[in-house]
Structure 1
Amino acid sequence: MKKLALSVLISSLLATNAFANDNTEVASSSDHLGATVQSEQTGNNQQLTEAELAEMQKKLNNPLADLWLLFTQNDYTSFKAADGNDYTMNSFKFQPVMSFDMTENYNLILRPTLQHSSIEAPGMDRESGLGDSGVLAALGPKTDINGWIIGGGVTSMFPTAKEESMTLMGADQTAVGPALIALNIGEVNTYGAVIQHFSGIGSSNNVDEHGKEEDINLTDIQYVYRHKIGPATQIGFAPNIQVDWNKEGSDRFSIPVGIGIDTITKIGKLPVRLGIEAYHYIEQNDQFGPDYGIRIFAIPVVPKLF
């Protein structure tokens, strides 16, 4: 039963799904937009113009843009099990995104993740508390190259969860690996992917069918499509495919499809992106896997501190 409970955590505890994103005018508009955000924070409470909203939307669509963000996201997921019962999980993530000028042409993005999770599964009562924490560090260009924004870096996850069963894959293990960001930028459409791989290091609580210690070996692929329907509004999706290489056959894969909408508004003096997305899983673990999910997110834009 413990192994079934561990599968719940694949979706909730991978804090790797916050980037979704686009722009061809990042560099040319950077200084102006930064000044706009700073002005909003220092007392100018007028509404953003249509042009400023469109510009902000483009910047928010670029995971390597020079913005500071307070990314908050809540994922509600329903699971189905072989016993015929349904189970639910809720994961709330806080991910401050910080951009630093490394050179004239490149930005360094740091995105630490803290999360609170509440989960249930066959054979276990609902557990709630602090989940694993992580850090993504990525380096990339400030402008697109032939329409593409390409970046790379290192991703990591640390077993800070309150309970062993709430850690990534239930392994209670540190995991690190490479990260790749590749997005095609357009005035109306944006598409691409954010790919991260996690390999466990150190001791793991998991064992394979032969009783041998089993390290985390997990790939997360966030595939992105956005279509602009207004200066500040877009429809699209950015779900996370997950591949557990320790499993066999189709049980390796969790594949969601869905749709969502987001828009930019102001709350007080802060420009904020608000959005909702809904997903259905077309492939999952037969014994215990996600069935559908609802994601709600809010992303305030704040001035760069340094």
Structure 2
Amino acid sequence: MINTLLRCAVSFVLCSLGILSLQAAESDDDTSLATADLGEIDRKLNNPLTSIWSLTFQNNSSANTGNAVSGTEYSNTLFFQPFLPFEIGADKETMFTLRPVFPVVTQPEIDFSTGKSSSHMTGYGDTQLLTLAGPNSGEGFVLGGGASFIFPTASDDILGQGKYQVGPALMAFNIGKPWVYGVLAQHWNSVGGDSDRPDTSRTDVQYTIRYSLPNAMSIGLGPTISYDWEADSDNALTFPIGLGLTKTTRWGKTPVKLRAELHYSVVKPDDYGTEWNFRFQVTPVINNPFK
């Protein structure tokens, strides 16, 4: 019953965001996006506390290997990540950001007794929600904090962890020219959910290093280090490195950030983990409907 309500809520949010983005894109009154400098948009979108509203569609295609499987197994996750910042406080000196993450997941159905998979399953995964608050400043050193949540909305056990999870989130970024760099850290502990599923305790640290290029382009990386505190030491850490290219352009009047990035895990779980990951992002920028 709870999962059904959560999926209904997710559908409502997705529909609402679609309507808001369509209204924003069709507005003739606000021409700020049509005239905004694309290089500045490209740079500011790297800041987790940016004032810019955006809708990110991110696809991760992964090649997974390990001692527990025979050969390479492939998986895919498509994320829809609306980025919804609000200026709060009497003088709007504080930025508060909501970033829900809605995943569609394709995972191999692996028989670990043989190390082989017979098929793949596709469905909805566990929904995440990141909240951050910090100074309303788009330049220099920016520090923020908040909370992060994971909800057990997966349509099948293989696609999620079956647990309600919560924990802190911290970010520290330097938004400069031509360099933008920083970290966004999130940690989750399970606090409820399916009692037959194992407890969870995981830390993710996304580190970003990007260098601005002419023509609203940038080069750099933004992979996520992950540590599973419930796993043994040989299967706890995933540490990827990578490189990618970002180009911000316009589709009509709408600024759109395009990014392609390849990651390789120099450390990964021995039994089963991601070795290669290819990430592709499409991020339309939309007007804030509350302004």
- TM-score interval (norm. to shorter): 0.7 to 0.9
Aligned-pair CA distance for 1:134: 1.6
Query: Offset at 1:231?
Result: 4.2
Instruction: Specify the code of the residue in structure 1 equivalent to 2:201.
Output: N
User: What does 1:142-157 align with in structure 2 at a 5 Å threshold?
Assistant: 142-143=136-137, 147-157=140-150
Instruction: Tell me whether 81-90 or 105-114 shows the greater mean CA deviation.
Output: 81-90
Distance 1:305 1:273, change over 3 A: same
Aligned to 1:294: 278
- Give matches, 1:266-285, under 5 Å: 266-285=250-269
Q: Is the Cα–Cα contact under 8 Å of residues 40 and 270 in structure 1 kept in the other structure?
A: no
Shift of 1:258: 0.7
Structure 2 partner of 1:76 = 61
The corresponding residue for 2:52 is: 67
Aligned pairs for 1:61-210 within 5 A: 61-82=46-67, 83-103=69-89, 104-123=92-111, 125-143=119-137, 147-167=140-160, 171-204=161-194
Alpha carbons of structure 1 residues 264 and 184: separation in structure 2 relative to 1, 3 Å: same
Q: CA deviation at 1:102?
A: 0.9
Asked if the contact 2:62–2:278 (Cα under 8 Å) also holds between the matched residues in 1, the reply is: yes
- Calculate percent identity across the aligned residue pairs: 31
* Per-residue CA distance 1:5-60 (angstroms, 9 max, x = gap): xxxxxxxxxxxxxxxxxxxxxxxxxxxxxxxxx799528999967x7122222321
| Aligned twin of 2:12 | none
- Does the CA contact (< 8 Å) of 1:44 and 1:269 recur in 2? no
CA distance in 2, matches of 1:46, 1:153: 30
> What displacement does 1:288 show?
0.9
Taking structure 1 as the reference length, what is the TM-score of the superposition?
Answer: 0.79
Q: Aligned-residue CA RMSD in angstroms?
A: 2.3
Secondary structure of 2:37 counterpart: helix
**Closer, same or farther: CA 253–206 of 1 in aligned 2, 3 Å:** farther
Q: Supply the AA of the counterpart residue of 1:174.
A: Y
Contact 1:164–1:172 at 8 Å: present in 2 too? Answer: yes
TM-score (norm 2): 0.83
Q: Does the Cα contact within 8 Å between 2:237 and 2:267 map onto a contact in 1? A: yes
AA aligned opposite 2:110:
P
Unaligned runs of 5+ in 1: 1-37, 208-213
| Superposition pairs of residues 205-284 of structure 1, within 5 angstroms | 214-284=198-268
Whole-angstrom distance in 2 between the partners of 1:286 and 1:143: 42
Q: Which moved more, 1:40-49 or 1:190-199?
A: 40-49
CA contact (8 A) 1:206 1:215 kept: no
